[in-house]
Structure 1
Amino acid sequence: MDTTLASALYSSPEARMRQQTVAKTSPIINHLTGVDLDATRAFLREHCFVKGHGFSSQYAGQGKVSCTTTAICVYALSETGLLTQQEKDEFQRILLAFCRTIPADQAGAFPRTTGEAPSAWTTGQAALALASAGAPWQVIQPSVEWLLRTQAANGGWNFPGTAAGHERLIYTLYPTLVLARFRHRLGDRGENALAHVSAFLTTRDERDVAWWSPLWEHLKRLVATSRADRRAANHPSFDAYWGLFEEEWPTIYVPEDWLHERFSMALMSGSNYLHLRRIVQPDHPLALLHIRYFADERIQHGWSDSREYQPKTWATALGALSLHRWADDLSRAHASPGES
């Protein structure tokens, strides 16, 4: 690397911190799970990226791209390793090419893919990806404003961000992550929107379904208004959730005749760690079970959401992010005073 470029790339405190984090996480991931994070990142960048257009919507080598997959990949690549300013600028341009500017009531919204209707799910993902890639507030603000406008009266969101009903916890996740990230900038409007999310959480049937409990607890923590509230949210019971993991797993491999939903659970255990990471320690048996479960289902350098022999782009990006977060958490938990 040119010394001038390297100096500029690593000059900011944030860049140096991210460089140090990646230097710690990659060896931890490789040693404890056998996953090569650098190879996974290279697979995404070199085989799943359609230059000038975005990331393949499903599999490497496909020409069709989607905004949703592109947003997930940009966010994961940005969070799991350093991007050059040229790469950041390129990814921002590609994402913004999906963004709606007209009609006025859709300004700032992103569709799942080109030609489709706007989606609250994708708009939240895109806003997070733009922020991670260093986009200024004035670029991200229209998307945040659109999410505020499309919040349902009950405090949640549905997939398209319309008044059609069917709001769910999963569709509310990304808009809530965005509002929580920018809560100080948004002031009272942000706090009011998060308060409505808090009310929404109390009405959802999913809170009583074991599989959704990590997501529900994560959302509850995001909308907490004080440290005391967040501490109170940090002591939930996951007894029913534990019961989803059969005895002896993960020492046995998932056989072919298991239900498709069971294999999907293997993929989702990676993202569920992201929900649990502020609640349980990274070396807690529950956290380690998730990581082992997830890492064992790797296909080449990535992951899929169904049993097949090639990884999917979005699932691979999600996997890279999950393992990176876990390894960073583990490194910090075991760091000597002054090292973390």
Structure 2
Amino acid sequence: MSAPAKILFVDRDGTLIEEPADEQIDGYEKFRLLPGAIGALRRLVDAGYELVMVTNQDGLGTPAFPEEAFAGPQRLLLEILAGEGIVFREVLVDRSFAHEHAPTRKPGLGLVRHYLGHGVLDRARSAVIGDRDSDLEFARNIGVRGLRIGADAGWAAIATTLLDAPRRARIERTTRETRIAVEVDLDDAARPAVHSGIGFLDHMIEQLGVHGGFALRLRCDGDLGVDEHHTVEDCALALGQALREALGERRGIGRYGHAPEGLPLQRALGFVVPMDDALAHAALDLSGRPYFVFEGAFPAERVGALPSALVPHFFRSLADALGANLHLAVRGDDAHHMVEACFKVVGRALRQAIRRDGGVAVPSSKGVLAGAAA
């Protein structure tokens, strides 16, 4: 089954073409593209948006607005945009007058009902772009964001707003063993707040947020009266799912967690974090393909209330839910230092992998990363 579509529903007159005083573009002499439209649309298409034109054309096909008067400028518009790689998935035109209250006329949904079925439209990332209050109402009716072109918001500002949208996610996960709520914001470095019922695990998950450079809130109510396994595993799964959803299609990210320059060659494939006697090494790829490799042995069965054996299991569950390839190795004499070094080094690798690089492309030769949230 294909992923929900990320669509921009774009108005025409006053949004793509300057609207004349008589509000009717019925000749080539009235045809003027809105400044910045081509460059902005090109950026948005490159970022994976699909375009659907939705326009009200009052009385189109009547003697006052003959079909041929509309067709020429419309064809010119589509040809100019297509020449720049901007192609519309669909062009939807309503021909009614406002007084007729036709269900197909914006802000009515008659023309776009085929996009409103379950799983068809990615409402969180789709939007309506127009120049009137009716376009904003149209957006509310669809259940997507509405952006208005005007004196204070030209096409460049609209594109920047869409491309720099905060990468946030909230996950609630309930099973017979645990009830978890997780919130992440990848573009905010607020202090993490974690409560799992296992004090040392709280401290470790906080290290992921602090060293990963992202805001994190997690609360888990688990069956600790049974044992710690379900709480540790489900916290990792919920956190991985939240990170995956916040990353979306993973466009414009670093993807890999690399080591800083200057490290010895044998350590150049990932981050290395020392902590007194302990040394942890992590290499991370946000490929969308989950895989986990661990090397190391902890010299104590527990660190606080956290069983050491569950530390690799935490990272395996995190990698599975996030869709990440994670290699983690640790050595040392003190189990506390070793575990803490593991969480810190994975956080440092995450920091670089999730960082935006200023582009909008998916960092893959395939053009898509397997398992990425659409």
- Normalised by the length of structure 1, the TM-score is 0.21
**Structure-2-length-normalised TM-score:** 0.20
Larger Rg: 2
Asked which structure has the greater RCO (Cα within 8 Å, sep 6+), the reply is 1
Higher helix proportion: 1
Q: Which of the pair is proportionally richer in strand?
A: 2
